[in-house]
């Protein structure tokens, strides 16, 4: 199947509306476009560089966790959440009531993504329909959409945009089509007889999942979680250090337009080129973030000897902020087993040296942020 000759599917009449039935994707793919080759070469090179970089950096898992925090915020923001990264990292009960639901959704994204990473890297569960459903279950637990059958493929029609299918921007296939389409998707993920570069395969998988829209809610977030998991599954990355939602959020209109053009105009080439450009920018950005984080941590640790307090206590508190750059004195005292008086004294000294900022202006219940460090990943 040449990408240029791809027929994306057909619109079939239902009761008062038309639903899109995507073509199956488990087949051999080829293309004629030299532009795809050029972008694919660059994207593969950038991802290879990111992979090597992630294997060489000491404590890379700390920086990856920060990267994941930003991914959770950006991917959820595409779906309408409005919390800042600082709010996502703060205790949920400290937030305004209207922000708590959004923060809970972001926390669920983190849990669902980490669950998927753990399953793939440990080999406990392959990238499969079962894993996709488990990720969705964790994503929707206790948040908006929790009553829309978390972890189960839909058994009724859904749609995107509009108040009903007849006025919707996009109506996915009827629920009776889902088992067959998901089976085809799963076969394509694991089909070693399909001789195709992994990034092209992942781009097609993401498009197809979003077109099937197999859940009543949470499809966008689930589909974006699948991208780093597919990179881990394929062996292109050894560590989960690639998160594309920041690019999708910044180019939201182009992202949705590229997906829609496949369904309307059969433009799989355009979608793949957009995805490869997003992959190049994301890999480059990740390397810059990790490099700047390393430099910041090195320079900040050098300053530790000038901070009031024993060097071990100061370093322990700094390390806690590298993992989670929004902290309260009570949190630090409990997790590090350091007296609250000592914690407050060190935090005050770190603030005077402009390593931290105190956000509330309160005498009690203060919140400290390592803002320069957080801004590196923002």
In a domain, 143, yes or no: yes
**Amino acid 53: pLDDT:** 87
Name the domain boundary from 264, 290, 316: 290
In a domain, 301, yes or no: no
In a domain, 299, yes or no: no
Indicate the pLDDT class of residue 186, thresholds 50, 70 and 90.
very high
Name the residue with tokens 């999942």: 209
Residues 330 and 270 in one domain: no
pLDDT tens for residues 20-58?
A: 999 999 999 999 999 999 999 999 999 999 999 888 887
Neighbours of 324 (CB within 10 A): 18
| Opening angle at CA 327, ends 343 and 344, nearest 5 | 20
Residues 204 and 156 in one domain: yes
Does pLDDT of 94 surpass 90? no
Name the domain boundary from 239, 258, 290: 290
* Ramachandran quadrant class, 192 (left: phi over 0; alpha: psi -120 to 50; beta: rest): alpha
**Amino acid 97: pLDDT:** 83
Residues 199 and 324 in one domain: no
Among 73, 5, 56, residue whose Cα is nearest residue 239: 56
Residues 126 and 216 in one domain: yes
Per the structure, the complete domain to which residue 176 belongs is given by: 3-290
Element of type H or E holding 117: helix 97-122
SS3 90: coil
Using CA of residue 251, residue 276, residue 190, residue 193, what is the dihedral sign? positive
Mean residue pLDDT across the chain: 93
In a domain, 333, yes or no: yes
Residues 241 and 157 in one domain: yes
Q: Looking at residues 111-126, what average pLDDT do you find?
A: 94
**Amino acid 96: pLDDT:** 85
Residues 210 and 281 in one domain: yes
Residues 315 and 215 in one domain: no
Higher pLDDT, 57 or 106: 106
CATH code for the domain of 315: 1.10.10.10
Q: Looking at residues 70-87, what average pLDDT do you find?
A: 88
Among 360, 341, 344, residue whose Cα is nearest residue 352: 344
Neighbours of 306 (CB within 10 A): 9
Residues 253 and 316 in one domain: no
**Amino acid 204: pLDDT:** 98
In a domain, 46, yes or no: yes
Residues 140 and 99 in one domain: yes
In a domain, 298, yes or no: no
CATH code for the domain of 53: 1.10.3290.10
Does pLDDT of 145 surpass 80? no
Among 308, 331, 321, 303, residue whose Cα is nearest residue 376: 321
Write the CB contacts of 48 (distance below 8 Å, at least 6 apart in sequence).
Answer: 236
Name the domain boundary from 290, 321, 351: 290
Task: Look up residue 46 and give its two tokens.
Answer: 């950038």
Name the residue with tokens 């989670």: 324
Residues 205 and 61 in one domain: yes
Residues 59 and 177 in one domain: yes
**Amino acid 38: pLDDT:** 98
Q: How far apart are CA 329 and CA 333, in angstroms?
A: 6
The count of domains in the chain is: 2
Task: For residue 9, list its beta bridge partners.
Answer: 22
In a domain, 229, yes or no: yes
pLDDT tens for residues 217-247?
A: 999 999 999 999 999 999 999 999 999 999 9
Q: How far apart are CA 40 and CA 54, in angstroms?
A: 21
Residues 190 and 337 in one domain: no
In a domain, 192, yes or no: yes
What are the CA-CA distances from residue 178 to residues 89, 116, 157, 174 (Å)? 37, 22, 11, 7
Does pLDDT of 81 surpass 90? no
Q: Looking at residues 276-302, what average pLDDT do you find?
A: 95
pLDDT tens for residues 335-372?
A: 999 999 999 999 999 999 999 999 888 778 889 999 99
């Amino acid at each position: 199947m040449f990408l240029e000759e791809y027929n994306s599917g057909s619109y079939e009449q239902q009761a008062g509306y038309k639903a899109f039935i995507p073509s199956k994707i488990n087949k051999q793919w080829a293309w004629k476009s030299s532009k795809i080759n050029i972008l694919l070469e660059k994207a593969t090179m950038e991802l290879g560089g990111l992979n090597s970089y992630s294997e060489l950096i000491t404590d890379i898992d700390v920086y990856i966790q920060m990267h994941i925090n930003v991914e959770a915020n950006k991917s959820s923001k595409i779906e309408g959440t409005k919390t800042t990264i600082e709010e996502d990292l703060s205790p949920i009960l400290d937030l305004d009531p209207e922000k708590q639901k959004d923060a809970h959704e972001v926390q669920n994204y983190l849990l669902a993504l980490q669950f998927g990473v753990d399953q793939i890297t440990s080999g406990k569960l392959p990238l499969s329909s079962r894993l996709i459903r488990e990720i969705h279950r964790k994503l929707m637990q206790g948040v908006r959409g929790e009553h829309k059958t978390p972890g189960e493929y839909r058994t009724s029609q859904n749609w995107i945009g509009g108040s009903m299918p007849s006025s919707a921007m996009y109506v996915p296939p009827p629920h009776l089509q889902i088992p067959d389409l998901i089976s085809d998707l799963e076969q394509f993920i694991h089909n070693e007889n399909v001789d195709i570069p992994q990034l092209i395969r992942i781009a097609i998988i993401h498009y197809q999942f979003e077109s099937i829209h197999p859940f009543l809610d949470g499809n966008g977030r689930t589909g974006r979680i699948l991208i780093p998991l597919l990179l881990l599954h394929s062996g292109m990355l050894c560590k989960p250090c690639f998160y594309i939602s920041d690019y999708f959020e910044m180019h939201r209109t182009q992202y949705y337009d590229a997906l829609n053009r496949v369904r309307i105009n059969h433009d799989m080439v355009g979608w793949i080129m957009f995805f490869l450009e997003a992959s190049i920018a994301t890999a480059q950005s990740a390397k810059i973030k990790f490099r700047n984080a390393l430099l910041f941590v090195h320079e900040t640790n050098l300053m530790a000897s000038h901070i009031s307090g024993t060097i071990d206590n100061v370093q322990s508190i700094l390390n806690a902020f590298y993992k989670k750059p929004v902290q309260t004195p009570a949190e630090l005292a409990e997790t590090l087993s350091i007296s609250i008086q000592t914690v407050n004294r060190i935090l005050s000294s770190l603030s005077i040296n402009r390593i931290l900022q105190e956000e509330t202006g309160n005498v009690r219940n203060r919140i400290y942020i390592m803002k320069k460090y957080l801004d590196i990943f923002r």
